[in-house]
Structure 1
Amino acid sequence: MKHKYLNLLVILLGQLLVIMDIFIINVSIPSIQRDLHASHGEMQFMIAAYLIGFASLLITGGRLGDLYGRKRIYIFGLIAFMISSIVCGVSVGAGQLVISRFVQGISAAMMAPQVLSMIQILFPVHQERTKAMGWYGTTIGIGTVLGQFLGGYFSSLTVMEEPWRLIFLMNIPICIPAIFLSLKLLNESKIPVKQSFNAGGVLILSAGLFCATYALTMSEHEGLHLKNVSLMIISGGILFSFIKNQKKRIQNERSYLIDFELFRYQNFNLGIVAVSFFFIMLDSYFYILSLFFQDGLKMSPLEAGEIIVFQGLGFILASVISVKLILKYGKKALIAGLGFIILILMLQLFLFRMQTGFPVFCLLLFLYGLGIGSIIPSLANIALSGMSEKLIGNASGVYNTFQQIAAIVGIVAVGSIFYYFLGTKPSVQQYHNAFSVTLLINILCLIFVMACIFKVPDYVLPEMKNRK
């Protein structure tokens, strides 16, 4: 049993790196732009590069783990992540840093599906797996908080001329022990039947996902220009052609990238829809909250950051506490958690319009984090529950891809609605109105998630009321 949890710790180090490096660059943007003499466009690419590389290759990463070994691909991802982090840290120009961040994202895409896959294989029993997914959720919370905190901390140091470089170089002391322990402790797992790798499918799928992710990410900064709309249409055409190609290859018993047998699992389909609506809500909320605090309520970046950290603390606490509730009450605990988040958002609708003090903001974000932390680990658990080992890597990659695309869609779509209601010369009242509209959209997304959880079969998250 102890050996299992030691293995869990090792693979969660990879998940920590993946999450932390999504957030760690945000606070350091002004320093990096000044020192590298980067344009605004180059800075947009720098932020987007990691997410584009990550989202484009997640399905490929999952399939590589299935075919060539999840331990092997996880270690390869760690090594590539460390090397790309070093190159980021010593970059002498904006172009070099953009490319290095893109490679970092690809490296993260090699690691992330293996983490979910290995958790499902290590902990086949529902009770143990639920606990393990609780720690997975805790890691996401820690990575979110650490990323934002360490990004600000290292950027403000005066011990060296360009301290922002430390936000990348700090990955080295995490990667080295993670690589060593992975080599020593992790067991290899892959599908038993030898199959060839569908390289052509990778190129088609990656091109489609790249176009979609790029267009969505850049729309956040540039708006829905003709270029971005055209890329979305091209992406749709490429992905449609990919699906036809994969189905034909499966019929002809040739190598493939996605096994569509995944979508025969009811809980997988429900988990995919639930996580998509949940992350449309989650990422759009934080994007708009930051704008509302700093531009609408005229808070300093430090004040806004301190309040948002309370959300992370609530997330971490809930990931630990919610395990017992999920084991005891099954999906009823998830439905209650979603209802709790809706309640907190409704309170924000009213209290954020009043002369709310700093402690109230912190409390509301902490409670919001409690709700979020009680849901996220179980969404992955629902989607991957009962999945055969042959499909687990494929399923993990698809799940992560939907999650990332949904997050970007949320920021772009809900963000556009926020700006529409804001107008061209917004007053404080208009900021309140725009924020209220987006909160109502977030509540609607949560209702869709709740409907999906209602339909999840009881055996996926069984109640264990008599458990001692």
Structure 2
Amino acid sequence: MKRISKWFLLLIVSSAIFLSVIDLFIVNVAIPSIKKGIRGTDSDIQLVIVLYVIGYAAFLITGGRAGDYFGKKKVFITGILIFTLASCMCGLSQNALQINTGRLLQGISAAFMVPQGVAFIPILFPDIKEREKALGIYGSIAGTASVIGQFLGGILPDTHFFIEGWRLVFLINLPIGILSALLAFKFLEGASTKGNVMVDNKGAPLASAEINSNRSGQAEISKKHWKGFNFIGLGLMIFSLISLIYPIIQGRELGWPNWSVVMLVLSLLTLLAFLYNQRKRLAVKKDALINITLFKNRNFNIGLCAALFYYMVQDSYFLINALQLQTGLGISSSLSGFYFVFQGVGYVVASFISIKLVPHYGKYVLLSGIGIMIISLVFHLVVLQSHVVSTALTLPVLFVYGLGCGSVLPTMFTISMKSIPASLAGAASGIYLTFQQIAIALGVGIVGGLFFHVLGDDFTTSNYLKAYHTATIANIALLILVGFILFLLPSTNRNGFSR
């Protein structure tokens, strides 16, 4: 049987993270054009971003479990196909309800396809050194997708073929998704592979009988795990997330009606019920969505708090800057996308450098990155304040902001996980990634809501500037808080963080 290069298979499984990342960043830049295209309100376009990350956060742990039960290949392909279908739904939407339904479906399907792509890597690369290289490539693909997304998010809305340009922001996923699904169907196997020949844990080819035995054994184990899945906990988590985020976004626009306050209270009560459910399941040695014993780890708690406030800044930054550039200052979508590419390039450059510096200087690399981001945001306030925006000044300011992001983001996860035992690493990473998505939703809801609150119904340039200044100052305050939290981490020695 012809062998397929595992590096080619890596590209196939990496298509999931490529699609999920590019679809987040491409929308961030194109949001003003999308708002105009669907004739949406301020809260409608906040939901375009938020529903995607809520769907992803709520089903991320479930998505990983589904791969164990139904088979990684099946879930991977199904997830990509549903993601592609949802992208088509978004691209053909005629109103806010349709596009936001599609965005929620995109987020949910991403939560199923991305964990399978990650899970295939140790299967394809049993050798530790090769696996590290593969993970590096996987990470670089995700980073590249963010830059490409920012570029296309600016270019595509200004491109008009037979349909409105903003629709291409979503429809561009169709050829990528269909091709990825076809290649995965043809070349990926559901278990360990060496080329496209199935192998055991030592790399030796398995006979057909062994393969069937292996599959049935794994299926039986997975079936038992799935029967014990915490569906009640999943329902409580989803309800708590929706009850928190939806009123934060819609309540402001509707004048904080009684139902919005009730939902916020229900969110807190449901969260407490969820934590009780998780504690109770752990006490009787049943699987839980999150292992709450991890919250006893001080460094992990510090990392989670820092991530919470940091990711509140991340996507709210793109939202308010895209609106300020394109709607407030009248800059074209294409030029706006070009500006954001420089931010992405700065991120990629700094991420490669910071990885080498962190083992020697630890948390001070992150603190320096936070300082760079704060200084850059101050210059944002100076540069982005008139109809005549100087490209010569804007590009370096955005590039420097990217340098700050690249110094913080790639290593924050590693630092949070540093003192976690290997046996709990999977559970801890699931909690961290869920916190990450929740924080993004909160940032768009709270900082974005602050921007729209100050803007009100006065769409003059001066009022846009006032709204932008207020929201950016809020982001600066959040970054100062992140810096303070990171400072609480242990100091470093020659080998990096002490424990």
Give the TM-score band, short-chain normalised.
Answer: 0.7 to 0.9
Counterpart Cα distance in 1 of 2:421 and 2:106? 30
1:271 is aligned to 303
Partner amino acid, structure 1, of 2:58? S
C-alpha deviation, 1:157, in angstroms: 5.3
C-alpha deviation, 1:434, in angstroms: 4.2
C-alpha deviation, 1:281, in angstroms: 1.9
Q: Determine if the alignment matches structure 1 residue 233 to structure 2 residue 238.
A: no
C-alpha deviation, 1:307, in angstroms: 1.6
Counterpart Cα distance in 2 of 1:118 and 1:312? 28
1:249 is aligned to 281
Counterpart Cα distance in 2 of 1:46 and 1:350? 29
Deviates more, 1:271-280 or 1:169-178: 169-178
Q: Determine if the alignment matches structure 1 residue 451 to structure 2 residue 484.
A: yes
Partner amino acid, structure 1, of 2:448? G
C-alpha deviation, 1:409, in angstroms: 1.8
2:436 is aligned to 403
2:56 is aligned to 54
1:172 is aligned to 178
Counterpart Cα distance in 2 of 1:147 and 1:219? 30
Deviates more, 1:137-146 or 1:377-386: 137-146
Partner amino acid, structure 2, of 1:169? L
2:329 is aligned to 297
> C-alpha offsets along residues 289-343 of structure 1, whole Å, 9 cap, x if unaligned?
2233234433333333322222122222222333222244333222222222222
Q: SS in structure 2 opposite 1:303? A: helix
Match 2:111 to one of 85, 109, 112: 109
1:362 is aligned to 395
Q: Quick one: structure 1 residues 179 and 15, their matched pair in 2 at CA, closer, same or farther if it must change by over 3 Å? A: farther
Contact 1:385 1:460 (8 Å CA) reproduced: no
Counterpart Cα distance in 2 of 1:440 and 1:457? 29
2:189 is aligned to 183
1:339 is aligned to 371
Counterpart Cα distance in 2 of 1:31 and 1:443? 27
Report 1:153-164 matches (<5 A).
153=155, 160-161=162-163, 164=167
Contact 2:307 2:436 (8 Å CA) reproduced: yes
> C-alpha offsets along residues 162-203 of structure 1, whole Å, 9 cap, x if unaligned?
77363341332244445656537867999x996421222222
Counterpart Cα distance in 2 of 1:47 and 1:415? 11
1:280 is aligned to 312
C-alpha deviation, 1:365, in angstroms: 0.6
Match 1:378 to one of 411, 419, 439: 411
Match 2:361 to one of 329, 335, 345: 329
Partner amino acid, structure 2, of 1:241? A
- Equivalences, count: 459
Counterpart Cα distance in 1 of 2:261 and 2:401? 34
Q: Any unmatched runs of 5+ in structure 2?
A: 194-199, 202-217
Q: Quick one: structure 1 residues 461 and 262, their matched pair in 2 at CA, closer, same or farther if it must change by over 3 Å? A: farther
Partner amino acid, structure 1, of 2:264? M
Deviates more, 1:196-205 or 1:296-305: 296-305
Q: Quick one: structure 1 residues 417 and 363, their matched pair in 2 at CA, closer, same or farther if it must change by over 3 Å? A: same
C-alpha deviation, 1:247, in angstroms: 1.1
Counterpart Cα distance in 2 of 1:42 and 1:428? 22
Q: Any unmatched runs of 5+ in structure 1?
A: none
Q: Quick one: structure 1 residues 350 and 31, their matched pair in 2 at CA, closer, same or farther if it must change by over 3 Å? A: closer
Match 2:472 to one of 430, 436, 439: 439
Counterpart Cα distance in 2 of 1:399 and 1:5? 28
Partner amino acid, structure 2, of 1:172? I
2:208 is aligned to none
Counterpart Cα distance in 1 of 2:31 and 2:443? 24
Q: Quick one: structure 1 residues 313 and 300, their matched pair in 2 at CA, closer, same or farther if it must change by over 3 Å? A: same
Partner amino acid, structure 1, of 2:267? S
Match 2:21 to one of 12, 19, 25: 19
Partner amino acid, structure 2, of 1:198? N
Question: With CA pairs under 8 Å and 6+ residues apart, which has the higher RCO, 1 or 2?
Answer: 1
Q: SS in structure 2 opposite 1:257? A: coil
Q: Which has the larger radius of gyration?
A: 2
Q: SS in structure 2 opposite 1:375? A: helix
Contact 1:50 1:102 (8 Å CA) reproduced: yes
Contact 2:63 2:112 (8 Å CA) reproduced: yes
C-alpha deviation, 1:435, in angstroms: 3.3
1:146 is aligned to 148
Q: Quick one: structure 1 residues 250 and 326, their matched pair in 2 at CA, closer, same or farther if it must change by over 3 Å? A: same
Contact 1:290 1:304 (8 Å CA) reproduced: yes
Partner amino acid, structure 1, of 2:398? L
Q: SS in structure 1 opposite 2:288? A: coil
Partner amino acid, structure 1, of 2:307? V
2:241 is aligned to 209
C-alpha deviation, 1:372, in angstroms: 0.7
Q: SS in structure 2 opposite 1:197? A: coil
Q: SS in structure 1 opposite 2:172? A: helix
Counterpart Cα distance in 1 of 2:69 and 2:255? 40
1:77 is aligned to 79
Counterpart Cα distance in 1 of 2:98 and 2:455? 37
Contact 1:123 1:132 (8 Å CA) reproduced: no
Partner amino acid, structure 2, of 1:208? S
Counterpart Cα distance in 1 of 2:188 and 2:455? 50
Counterpart Cα distance in 2 of 1:4 and 1:340? 40
Contact 1:82 1:175 (8 Å CA) reproduced: no
C-alpha deviation, 1:364, in angstroms: 0.5
Counterpart Cα distance in 2 of 1:132 and 1:220? 45
Partner amino acid, structure 2, of 1:60? T
> C-alpha offsets along residues 323-380 of structure 1, whole Å, 9 cap, x if unaligned?
2222443332222222222222233344445875122111111111121122111112
2:196 is aligned to none
Deviates more, 1:253-262 or 1:95-104: 95-104
TM-score, length basis structure 2:
0.75
Counterpart Cα distance in 2 of 1:155 and 1:296? 17
Contact 2:248 2:445 (8 Å CA) reproduced: yes
What's the RMSD between the two structures over aligned residues? 4.4
Partner amino acid, structure 2, of 1:394? A
2:206 is aligned to none
Q: SS in structure 2 opposite 1:298? A: coil
Counterpart Cα distance in 2 of 1:215 and 1:199? 25
